[in-house]
Amino acid sequence: MKTLAFRLAAAALLASAAAFPTVAQTPAAKASAAARDVAHERLWLGSAWYPEQWPESAWEEDLRLMQGHGANVVRIGEYAWSRMEPTEGQYEMDWLVRAVRLAGKYGMKVVIGTPTDTPPAWMTQKYPDTLQIDGNGKRLGHGGRRQFSISSQRYRQFAQIIVTKMAEAVKNEPNVIGWQIGNEPTDESYDPEARAAWVAWLKQRYGTLDKLNEAWTTAYWSQTYTDWEQVPFNTDKANPGWMLELKRFVTSQWRAFHRNQLDAIRAVIGDKQFITINFGGLGWANRFDRYEMNRDLDVTSWDDYVGMGHLKAYRNGATHDLVRGWKRQNFWVMETQPGFVNWAPVSNMLYPGETRALAWQSVGHGADAVLYWQWRNALNGQETMHGSIVGPDGRPLPIYSEVQQIGRDFAKASAALKGTTPISPVAILQDYPSRWAIDFQLHHKDYDQIETLLDYYQPLKDALGAVDMVEAAEAPLARYRLVVAPSLNVITDEMAKRLTDYVQGGGHLILGPRSGMKDEYNRLDTVRQPGPLATLLGGQVEQYYALDEEISVGSGKASIWAELLSTSAPDTQVLLRYGKANGWLDGKPAVISRKVGKGRITYVGALVDDAVMKGLMDTALGDAGVVRDFGVPADVELMTREGNGKRIVILVNHGREAREVALPSAMTDILGSGKVRKVSLAPEGVAVLQR
């Protein structure tokens, strides 16, 4: 058990942390429900359009062709700072207003992107202090993008002014429905202002150096700090407690950077338009905490790029589910590839139909918008080779007709999908502190938390069609029959209480390996894994082992990681044991489970093979009384969206062979016509059905 002194110290730390929220601001003003609902009122289809790169005489034809493929939205402006403020303090917004109005003439709604990813050259020249210093101490220069420092107060001021001018220019334009702040937040800065902010943040969070020293166990290697300025600020590998806090600090800097723009825009536009951030193409990226960043937004969005090769259906689908969980609502795919990209080792074209399959997979997982990057290739610049919908001549490329097909599909299915979202009885818990904590101390080079999560996801997705992925620390759990935490390494006392309440309330919690090892400060818990849940489980991890060879478990195999489990309560059952293993594990418990009232808690101590995992998940679903909807052949993905009394089934054939799907009952074929009992899906084929 933890000592009283330890608990008191932890409680004091918790109290001091709670007293200092990471962003000391009032909650962000939100769009009205009506403005937010616009984002979800229909299926949106469109692309990123850069009118600033073309003579105005070309705009109308661009828009006519967009309308011709069924587009109803464009994103404008996100890199156009030098066009909007050609010299310091001289603002030119007329062209933007003209572009917005012309788009309106062709039935296009507009999302305005703020241009803060690409500051103008005059700023770089005159105010080098606005530039980022990277983790190696190098100051960035002009010519690329994202060279700014998120911590520069001067840069934030410039950003605030330009977005205010933009908002003033378009606030009354009826076809502007939303805003995107910046584009794809990525790198933080290590400049002197950032350092000062780091020290201020630490002081606010800890109050005294004694608390900080204790939380990070700085007696280790003479790390004890006697002056705040001694605390390191760089990207070197260091104390894991320090590393976790640096991530939280970076998150708070990003959040404040965006809030600066968000508050300025909101002050001008009122609650008429929604505000989003495009979190970019790496859904699983973890430079900062996406849940925190999303708290201020009305809608979330990301970029769904395949890159090299072809769509990896489970991984891509799970990424959509992750994104849907950021705000626990439907989302926008702000960018996706019209066939191919320019940045992959091999930037191959998707198969005919695959771009459409990709769009429908997005919708099946909760996207209400699909926008292509980009509409038309610029004549020069870093991305001239990227896929687009029309060529540099302004004429449709071969992919245009496939995008046109998507336009026809969306027009047919939009009304049926309105008000629906994937709904699942099962949730997978995700959490950035745990992601970071494990990655900092991998212990086995092949321990991949995303792959581990996908191991659980795959059988659940196959069985259910929809799986939620939600934030461990915040998401309400009561409505789930089964909650799976594949790698919940950091379990705070508060989180432990939530999970305990869930189990005691009748839910089934499954914990994967490495769970409950660390506290909020990335300190080892003095109770063995799963730490604060060990008593509830009636068992614990005696020892963990990084595996250099496959071992046997149940009727299958485990690799990479295995833990030796023990039971301490008489009613804790051993569900699986290791067979011939590494000697230490031979015959020992690998999976244990305990019934708690109507609920249950299960601990899986190893990374097991697909068959063993399927067995575990099927048993768990059976115990939880969750029944399979209907079966589909290999390569066919079943997705479901529900709401407003409607139940929509989306089927996509990700394979290279035609497939037939027998339906459990007659359903309305939304993209075809009438009621059907079975559907035939060509390779990359799609069916949208209403039950």
Residues that bind ligand GAL in the complex, under the rule CB under 6 A: 183-184, 280-281, 303, 305, 335, 341, 343, 373, 383, 386
Q: In terms of CB distance, is 291 or 373 closer to ligand GAL?
A: 373
Minimum CB separation of residue 183 from ligand GAL in Å reads: 5
Minimum CB separation of residue 120 from ligand GAL in Å reads: 17
Q: Are 656 and 626 in contact (CB under 8 A)?
A: no
Minimum CB separation of residue 373 from ligand GAL in Å reads: 5
Q: Are 472 and 429 in contact (CB under 8 A)?
A: yes
Radius of gyration of the chain (CA): 26
Q: Are 433 and 487 in contact (CB under 8 A)?
A: no
Q: In terms of CB distance, is 341 or 389 closer to ligand GAL?
A: 341
Q: Are 366 and 328 in contact (CB under 8 A)?
A: no
Distance CA 527, CA 175 (A): 58
Minimum CB separation of residue 326 from ligand GAL in Å reads: 18
Q: In terms of CB distance, is 20 or 343 closer to ligand GAL?
A: 343
Q: In terms of CB distance, is 184 or 289 closer to ligand GAL?
A: 184
Tokens of 624: 């939880």
Instruction: Indicate the pairing of strand 675-681 with strand 659-669.
Output: antiparallel
Minimum CB separation of residue 85 from ligand GAL in Å reads: 20
E strands, 186-298, where? Answer: 274-276
Q: In terms of CB distance, is 145 or 646 closer to ligand GAL?
A: 145
The CA–CA distances, whole Å, from 126 to 121, 130, 203, 501 equal: 9, 9, 33, 57
Distance CA 265, CA 616 (A): 50
- With 0-12 / 13-18 / 19 or more C-beta atoms within 10 angstroms meaning exposed / middle / buried, residue 207 is middle
Q: Are 325 and 470 in contact (CB under 8 A)?
A: yes
**Chain center to CA of 196:** 30
Distance CA 626, CA 646 (A): 20
Minimum CB separation of residue 341 from ligand GAL in Å reads: 5
Minimum CB separation of residue 442 from ligand GAL in Å reads: 27
Q: In terms of CB distance, is 287 or 691 closer to ligand GAL?
A: 287
Q: In terms of CB distance, is 381 or 622 closer to ligand GAL?
A: 381
Cis upstream peptide for 396 (omega within 30°): no
Q: In which element (H, E) is residue 38 found?
A: helix 33-38
Minimum CB separation of residue 159 from ligand GAL in Å reads: 18
Q: In terms of CB distance, is 180 or 515 closer to ligand GAL?
A: 180
Minimum CB separation of residue 251 from ligand GAL in Å reads: 20
Q: In terms of CB distance, is 281 or 532 closer to ligand GAL?
A: 281
Among 64, 62, 65, CA closest to 49: 62
